[in-house]
Amino acid sequence: MPSRNDAISILTASGMPLELAEVATHRGTEVGFVNGPQTLREMYAETATGATFLVYGDERLTFEDTYRRSAAIAHALVYDMGVEPGDRVAISMRNYPEWVQVFMAATSVGAIAVAMNALWQAEEMEHGLRDSGAKVLFADQERLDLLAHIDDDVRRQVRVIAVRQIAGADGAEPLEQALSLIGDVAMPPARVRPDDPATIFFTSGSTGFPKGVLSTHRQAMTATYMRELGDLVPDVMRGLAPEDARAPRSVALLTIPLFHVTASHAIFLPCFRSQCALVSMRKWDPDEAAMLIERERVDYFVAPPAITHDLVRAAKTTARDLSSLKLVGGGGAARPPEQVRQIADTMKDVAPSTGWGMTETNSLGTSIGGNEYLQHPESSGVCMPTMTFRIIGEDGSTVTDGGPGELQVRGTSVFEGYWNRPDANAASFDDGWFRTGDVARIDEEGYLYIVDRLKDLIIRGGENIGCGQVEAALALHPAVHEAAVYAVPDERLGEEVGATVYITDEVTVDELRDFVRPHLAAFAVPRYLTLTREPLPRVASGKLFKHRLRDQAIEALGLR
């Protein structure tokens, strides 16, 4: 049987649909996919068929329906709202069909789609609008309610379009009103090139507010093709000819927010070329998911470990028919090896898969699935062919003996840089290599293993949480002298937020949690809080001794 490398070589050979070759980009020569659409605009137009695309509750839209609706929105953006190429169009809502339509519209006319985290509180939302300089904001009712609490100057800079509005919001124009005089129109003409900017997704850094990750059409399309390639490789490894290999997706269940690249690049965008229906959930609920899998005959499911853990449990207890499932993929956080085996044991015809990636790599960087994954359940997979990895030791030299070091990457899907953050770019790139902040090792077969993190981050159920931002929110309380925030292991979510806080006045744990809620997204509010009247320990350099504080908290909580 072909190895993974053999399968990739077969699928990407000259003349194949997924042919790889050296291509000239604005960054120089890179390895890219040379057949098929090279921009998101081209992909949408080429795939506007009568096949079912978006399923949300009782709503069902075809690819053609969705394209026509996005063309009307694009018409309003260009001719009514004055959006020009390079302008930012922000999206802040749940996974409604309008999220997809606005994203398509913005990227079709050369604007930059800004995917705002819909779980943010008002302070973070204000930062996202201010930082991106968005000209237009499409928001649902929950996000419209937050606008009353942001700075007036920021609020005035952006035209607000209300989606699925329930109550009034000052200055917000209902989407249907904005489209009322447009009707059925063609997509406005626009010259969109592969290296033009297309998206800004936000990622939490170790300190401060989330950073905007700017990517181009080529980078997003490369990620889409890489997902397609990753889906086909297992079939070829089993001995099928390339023309007989089929991506295991005809109906996908969308359980995670589209403001994550895992949802957008691993689930949503690949649907166009595969003509896969996308069944969207408003929020995660295992019982509802089981019902939708049965009703819609879902065969493709990708989610962080916390959600796939719930799916495994539902598969054991539900009377629903989940036999349509063919692939259960992972993303957003490392999956415990035991869960890999549980997926295979509980759902007999399902192939577990996963991969490593970041917002900065436009999702996929490695891929592994099926029997290969069962044989290497602790691995995140093998480097995809449009990327190159290196492991750098503490002394700055390249590690070649399989030992650990910082994972650094470069390649066609690696992002442009952080929006408005030259300081972060200078710190994050080393002669064209992106410093991921992940401590990893690569074995002799090329399998990647993530060992630790250099960056001060917590990954809770796929959400990146900057420890510095949580510490800053705690420090705003007058009773708090200093705070150390760290990850506490959690069986379902992978990690939870813990903090040890040095207080100089009376305050309770509940009071501290209530105090930080307006400043943090709900997922970033500490679950575990340890209060002390003693200064926090520090290492010789003067930094907080977080490892000791974390170990002490875990011991006290009985979680070791």
Could you tell me the mean pLDDT of each successive run of 10 residues in the chain, 560 residues long?
88 95 94 96 98 97 98 98 98 97 98 95 94 97 92 92 84 92 95 98 77 97 93 86 80 94 94 96 92 95 86 88 90 76 83 90 89 88 94 91 93 96 94 92 92 79 82 86 88 89 91 92 92 82 76 84
In a domain, 506, yes or no: yes
Looking up residue 157, the CATH number of its domain turns out to be 3.40.50.980
* Residue 90 neighbours by CB under 8 Å, 6+ apart: 114, 116, 128, 129, 132, 134, 136, 137, 138, 158
Question: For residue 535, what pLDDT is reported?
Answer: 85
Domain that holds residue 142: 80-192
pTM, to two decimals: 0.87
| Burial of residue 278, with CB atoms counted within 10 A of its CB: 0-12 exposed, 13-18 middle, 19 or more buried | buried
DSSP symbol at 391: E
Distance CA 506, CA 512 (A): 11
In a domain, 493, yes or no: yes
Question: For residue 542, what pLDDT is reported?
Answer: 57
**Residue 114, Cβ neighbours under 10 Å: how many?**
30
In a domain, 27, yes or no: no
Strands 405-411 and 463-466: unpaired
Where a domain ends, among 192, 224, 253?
A: 192
Looking up residue 462, the CATH number of its domain turns out to be 3.30.300.30
Strands 112-115 and 197-203: parallel
Q: How many domains is the chain partitioned into structurally?
A: 2
Question: For residue 206, what pLDDT is reported?
Answer: 55
In a domain, 165, yes or no: yes
* Residue 395 neighbours by CB under 8 Å, 6+ apart: none
In a domain, 318, yes or no: no
Question: For residue 207, what pLDDT is reported?
Answer: 59
Question: For residue 371, what pLDDT is reported?
Answer: 83
Question: For residue 184, what pLDDT is reported?
Answer: 93
Helix axes of 509-516 and 467-475: crossing angle, nearest 10 degrees: 110
In a domain, 444, yes or no: no
In a domain, 276, yes or no: no
Strand partners, 450: 440
Three-state DSSP at 469 gives helix
Where a domain ends, among 142, 171, 192?
A: 192
In a domain, 124, yes or no: yes
Q: Give just the sign of the alpha carbon dihedral 462, 466, 469, 472.
A: positive
Contact of 259 with 274, CB cutoff 8 Å: no
Where a domain ends, among 144, 173, 192?
A: 192
DSSP symbol at 443: -
Question: For residue 343, what pLDDT is reported?
Answer: 85
